[in-house]
Amino acid sequence: MGELVAVAIDAAVGALVRRDIVAAAAVVANDPAINAAQSDLTALVIHTIATQAPVAGDLQFLLSLSHVTYELERIGDHAAGVAKQVIKVGDFPKAGSVNLDQMGELASTILHGVLRALVDLDVDAARRAAAQDDEIDRLYHSYFERALERMRFEPAWVDVGAHLLFAAKNLERIGDRVTNIAEEVVFLATGEVEDLNA
């Protein structure tokens, strides 16, 4: 499931950077596969709890993985959300979207980082991935202000700008979801609940 989501965000970011409608449509078309993976994994967790009666650490492990699958499914939705905005924008010129492209690339980087941290149960890597959410937030706020300013002075850009702001918000939310997964990695590795949004 992590691989499906990583492919989706990479493809969505690539479509955004290139304004590639065909690639964006493929991301949207593949989103149901991520949803199905989450449903299958949730069913497997429920079946395991019902039939194996796990206790203590094993139960915590299963519940944490259930939380991770939820966050991954939502990241998939955000990737599809970015792709849908690319389709709506079409091949409109890219002027002024440097921060948006940087947000996308960083969202992809930290997702890959937290997935590796999850596989390795690497607390330090999880914390590093979560810490980069602050940079995504900074890029988002900077892009938001610049986009609003452009909308004020270029009425013809308002529709495009609105769609790009929706794309930017989806990328910003991916950073939040990565942080949530990083917190689950910390919990799985240490048994401690740690707020990485602080």
Structure confidence by residue, pLDDT tens digits, 24-40? 999 999 999 999 999 99
- Any idea what the CATH number is for the domain that residue 46 is in? 1.20.58.220
In a domain, 158, yes or no: yes
pTM of the model: 0.93
Is the predicted pLDDT of residue 170 greater than 90, yes or no?
Answer: yes
The total of structural domains in the chain comes to: 1
Look up residue 179 and give its amino acid.
T
Q: In which domain, by residue range, is 152 found?
A: 2-190
Distance in Å from the first CA to the final CA of the chain: 28
In a domain, 197, yes or no: no
**Residue 192 is encoded by which pair of tokens?**
């401690």
Q: pLDDT tens across 63-85, in order?
A: 899 999 999 999 999 999 999 99
Cβ(38)–Cβ(69) below 8 Å: yes
Who wins on pLDDT, 6 or 156? 6
